[in-house]
Amino acid sequence: MDAALPTHAAMLRGRIFGHVGLMTGIAILVVAFACAIFAPLLAPHDPYFQDLAARLVPPVWQPRGTWLHPLGTDNLGRDYLSRTIYGARVSLLIGFSVMLVSGLIGTTMGLAAGYFGGRTDMAVSFIVTARLAMPVVLVALAVVALVGGSLVVVIAVLGLLKWDRFAVVMRAATQQARAQDYVAAAKATGASTLRVLLGEVLPNILPQLVVVATLEMASAILLEAALSFLGLGVQPPLPSWGLMISEAKAYMFFSFWMIAIPGTALGLLVLAINLVGDGIRDVAAPEGRA
Amino acid sequence: MSAILTVEGLEVDLSVPAGTLHAVRDVSFEVARGETLCIVGESGCGKSMTALALMGLLPRNARRRARRLVFDGIDLAAASRTQTNDLRGSRMSMIFQEPMTALNPAYTIGNQLCGVYRRHKGGSAAAARERAAFLLGKVGIAAAGERLGQYPHQLSGGLRQRVMIAMALMCDPALIVADEPTTALDVTIQAQILKLLKDLQDEFGMALVLITHDLGVVARVADSVAVMYAGAIVERGTAAQVFAAPRHPYTAGLIDCIPVPGRTKPGERLGAIPGTVPALVGNITGCAFRSRCAHAQARCEDAPPQHAEGGHEWACIRGAA
């Protein structure tokens, strides 16, 4: 009776490709991922190689700039383009790992609190409140002071601290989904609790989960940069954008590009992730809603 | 006729902020294989709670008690969670009021139909799909193979209710509990769905417990009728008995509310029952209907006597006419 309608997949394709923000975000992300994965092939120089004879070379568009170092060199004569490309690795690695760790913790807690309610809900809400009372940077400071900073420590600290938004959003979404008839209908067809949770509730709150995940990933990348800037994150000589900004701050007035280049890269990556998150929400929103 | 479902003294209590709400009070009935029992009553009389209690789907704040609750030789009151899960969807299934929300929007129709089948019967995906397509055909959905790949939001309300019925039938159940299956649908679709349920019952021989507030529905499909008021069954009998000679004033009042083509003249006022259902919180003594009843007497303060006459039972001080 509605055979003339385009198929489900065709409508979805149309919505995705028609979304400018989503496509822009995906395009930037693809470039960032390519940089991260193929860094050794793309980078013109070794990011750790110091050429003290060529210190503080400005980018190619400035006077004194040379095509040998398109984005110039830093105070130790390391090629800035190569370091920026390698920096994408650290940012994306941290963003993804933190999102996975915190997402797993937060989603589990939110699902349990929202679905079971009652005491479980009270317990989870208490843990979330307790967690929100702890400032992330201060905790990170304390942990780094105790065990020293490294990539793994940053991932662990952020992953174990940043699940709060996952828990809060997933709890609210689950409460909503739990009251739907299809949950009762699934129980009426003999589905177990775990099956109802993972098979019925989770797929329906997936759009919200994806949006939170992207926002948290972007915020984790920014936090890593902030921690590295403070000297609490990844340690030199690893090329991290936050660390590059930190090292450049002494030269800010004379070599502005040193702070602008990693800053732009960081801003673009975070923007792209947020665009993708928003885009997915827009594309998924009409889905399944009658 | 052997009973597939025997309910004796079913009680459902809800704990609410104001105290304990006796949503279902001492409800007893039997359903035989291939029989249709309609439970009728107005909103809030406990009919949906009765249905949910049968399926073990009561809300968290509800307690179910029963002297006997036996389905197909299995004591539901004593069944474990796993046993209940094995029964639900396989031997007994349920059709919900709102076909718009009772299907999961995240999966295709085929996925949901096959999921039920494979959960209980196992077997190959192809066998499940074949069964699903067969049943979609049975419930009158054309191009079943194509529909299996569609999502719920691509179907109309009537189609979704047909899918729900097909889902209830997937594992060839002995009992289907339908909670107001036609209330959310257009009047024209209502008639189709009722006829469909009746035809399927003739073909597959399952028992049907139909919860409704619509006496028109009852007249069309019921073998036997139970009229509920304020959580209790006030009158029970075959459809013919209840419609031809309603004994309880509440039943008589309900029947008066239906316009009859030919007999009800244009402009004539339909019957109405004054007042509303009493609050069910706390203890209820005497006949719950007495505050609205035209025949109320002082004796109605006491528990109403039970009358029985050839399978027709009612609870009222007024005996057989």
Q: How far is B8 from chain A (nearest CA, A)?
A: 22
Supply the pLDDT for residue B46.
85
Using one digit for the tens of pLDDT, what is the confidence trace for B124-178? 888 888 889 988 888 888 888 888 888 888 888 888 888 988 888 888 889 999 9
Q: How far is A35 from chain B (nearest CA, A)?
A: 35
Supply the pLDDT for residue B320.
63
- The H or E element that residue A110 is part of is helix A80-116
CA gap A148, A16 in Å, rounded: 44
Contact B289, B234 (CB under 8 A): yes
Contact B220, B49 (CB under 8 A): no
Contact B7, B65 (CB under 8 A): no
Q: How far is B246 from chain A (nearest CA, A)?
A: 34
Which residues, other chains included, contact A50 with Cβ-Cβ below 8 Å and sequence gap of 6+? A76, A77, A78
Which of B76, B26, B42, B73 lies closest to B212 in space, CA to CA?
A: B42
Instruction: Return the half-sphere exposure (C-beta side, CA atoms, 13 A cut-off) of residue B261.
Output: 1
Question: In the predicted model, what is the mean pLDDT of residues B238-248?
Answer: 87
Supply the pLDDT for residue A58.
76
Instruction: Find the range with the poorest average confidence among A164-168, B23-27, B57-61.
Output: B57-61
Question: In the predicted model, what is the mean pLDDT of residues B172-187?
Answer: 86
SS3 content of chain A, % helix, strand, coil (to 5): 70, 0, 25
Contact A51, A73 (CB under 8 A): yes
Supply the pLDDT for residue A8.
67
Using one digit for the tens of pLDDT, what is the confidence trace for A113-138? 999 988 999 999 999 999 999 888 88
3-class state of residue A236 by DSSP: coil
Burial class (CB in 10 A: 0-12, 13-18, 19+), A261: buried
| A49, two tokens | 């190689």
B-chain residue closest to A115, CA distance: B60
Supply the pLDDT for residue B318.
80
Confidence of residue B207 (pLDDT cuts 50, 70, 90): very high
Q: How far is B183 from chain A (nearest CA, A)?
A: 15
Supply the pLDDT for residue A1.
43
Q: How far is B210 from chain A (nearest CA, A)?
A: 16
SS (H, E, C) chain B: CCEEEEEEEEEEEEEECCEEEEEEEEEEEEEECCCEEEEECCCCCCHHHHHHHHHCCCCCCEEEECCEEEECCEECCCCCHHHHHHHECCCEEEECCCCCCCCCCCCCHHHHHHHHHHHHHCCCHHHHHHHHHHHHHHCCCCCHHHHCCCCHHHCCHHHHHHHHHHHHHCCCCCEEEEECCCCCCCHHHHHHHHHHHHHHHHHHCCEEEEEECCHHHHHHHCCEEEEEECCEEEEEEEHHHHHHCCCCHHHHHHHHCCCCCCCCCCCCCCCCCCCCCCCCECCCCCCCCHHHCCCCCHHHHCCCCEEEECCEEEECCCCCC
CA gap A175, A117 in Å, rounded: 8
What ipTM was predicted for this assembly?
A: 0.73
Domains of chain B (ranges, CATH numbers) = 3-91+174-315 (3.40.50.300), 99-170 (no CATH)
Supply the pLDDT for residue A77.
75
Supply the pLDDT for residue A286.
53
CB contact under 8 A, B104 and A204: yes
3-class state of residue A84 by DSSP: helix
Question: In the predicted model, what is the mean pLDDT of residues B211-230?
Answer: 88
**Beta strand ranges found along chain A (DSSP E):** none
Contact A161, A154 (CB under 8 A): no
Choose, out of A8, A116, A189, A198, the residue to mutate when testing the contact with B (most B CBs < 10 Å): A189
Question: What's the gap between Cα A112 and its chain centre?
Answer: 24
> Which residue bears the tokens 């989960």?
A209
Q: Which chain A residues contact residue B156 at CB under 8 A?
A: 1
Residues in chain B whose Cβ is within 8 Å of chain A: 55, 57, 60, 84-90, 93-94, 96-98, 100-107, 115-116, 119-120, 143, 149-154, 156, 164, 167
User: Of A8, A180, A190, which is closest to B88 when you measure between CB atoms?
Assistant: A190
CA gap A229, A87 in Å, rounded: 13
Q: Which chain A residues contact residue B93 at CB under 8 A?
A: 188-189
DSSP A234: S
Which residues, other chains included, contact A122 with Cβ-Cβ below 8 Å and sequence gap of 6+? none
Q: Which amino acid is at B185?
A: L
CA gap B84, A48 in Å, rounded: 65
B-chain residue closest to A116, CA distance: B60
CB contact under 8 A, A190 and B94: no
DSSP A75: T
User: Of B84, B102, B105, which is closest to A289 when you measure between CB atoms?
Assistant: B105
Q: Which chain A residues contact residue B89 at CB under 8 A?
A: 188-191
- The H or E element that residue A17 is part of is helix A8-17
Supply the pLDDT for residue A290.
33
Supply the pLDDT for residue A289.
42
Q: Write down the mean pLDDT value for chain B.
A: 85
> Which residue bears the tokens 């189609």?
B159
Burial class (CB in 10 A: 0-12, 13-18, 19+), A124: buried
Dihedral pair phi/psi, residue B310, rounded to 5°:
55, 45
Which residues of chain A register pLDDT less than 50? 1-3, 288-290
Contact A181, A199 (CB under 8 A): no
Looking at per-residue pLDDT, the higher value among A290 and B310 belongs to: B310
CA gap A140, B139 in Å, rounded: 62
User: Of B116, B119, B153, which is closest to A290 when you measure between CB atoms?
Assistant: B153
Looking at per-residue pLDDT, the higher value among A45 and B14 belongs to: B14
| B46, two tokens | 């406990």
Is residue B245's pLDDT more than 70? yes
> Which residue bears the tokens 């949950």?
A183
Using one digit for the tens of pLDDT, what is the confidence trace for B277-295? 777 777 777 888 888 888 8
CA gap B16, B60 in Å, rounded: 11
A vs B, Cβ pairs < 8 A, gives 84
Choose, out of B49, B101, B104, the residue to mutate when testing the contact with A (most A CBs < 10 Å): B104
